[in-house]
């Protein structure tokens, strides 16, 4: 079973027990989002995302009418997945790692880009041999 940082788990395969595994991963994602929502270290602006998602689901305004049986519920489910993923992705990475480790018992590290190196405007360094030749003054030869 692969551990994902956020979003819904990958669809189940034809293996026996795959559906149960998928449901466990799906439930774990909701647990992760709930724990992050209750964590005071998560910025308040980030915590708005789950509330907006629930507000959309409860509102009478819909992208696809619920009268179209099946399609209306699928768009609600898609909005729920997108809102969940967006919330977890916007949370600080170290907090997501901490709560994921607490839920799974496995420390999961998330790829983080390296710090950008500061560029200094300086002339390119010359190789040592070239520097010696460039700095040396021509010697006068005896005739």
Tens digits of residue pLDDT in 64-122: 666 667 777 778 888 888 898 899 999 999 999 999 889 888 776 666 666 665 666 66
- Res. 132 pLDDT band, cuts 50 70 90: low
In a domain, 88, yes or no: yes
In a domain, 72, yes or no: yes
In a domain, 62, yes or no: yes
Question: What average pLDDT does the segment 6-33 reach?
Answer: 73
How far apart are the C-alpha atoms of 72 and 31, rounded to whole Å?
A: 26
Q: Where are the alpha helices (DSSP H) in the chain?
A: 18-38, 48-58, 71-90, 93-104, 128-135
How far apart are the C-alpha atoms of 21 and 1, rounded to whole Å?
A: 8
Identify the domain containing residue 74 by its residue range. Answer: 18-106
In a domain, 132, yes or no: no
A 10 A CB-CB count for 78 gives 13
In a domain, 112, yes or no: no
- Res. 42 pLDDT band, cuts 50 70 90: very high
pTM (predicted TM-score) = 0.59
pLDDT on residue 114:
67
Domain count along the chain: 1
């Amino acid at each position: 079973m692969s551990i994902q940082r956020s979003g819904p788990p990958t669809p189940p395969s034809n293996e026996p027990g795959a559906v149960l595994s998928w449901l466990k991963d799906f439930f774990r994602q909701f647990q992760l989002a709930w724990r992050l929502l209750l964590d005071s270290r998560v910025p308040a602006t980030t915590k708005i995302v789950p509330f907006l998602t629930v507000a959309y689901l409860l509102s009478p305004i819909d992208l696809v009418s619920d009268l179209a049986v099946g399609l209306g519920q699928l768009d609600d489910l898609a909005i729920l997945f997108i809102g969940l993923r967006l919330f977890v992705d916007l949370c600080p990475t170290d907090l997501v790692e901490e709560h994921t480790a607490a839920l799974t018992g496995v420390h999961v590290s998330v790829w983080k880009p390296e710090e950008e190196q500061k560029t200094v405007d300086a002339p390119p360094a010359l190789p040592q041999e070239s520097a010696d030749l460039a700095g040396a003054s021509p010697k006068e030869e005896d005739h």
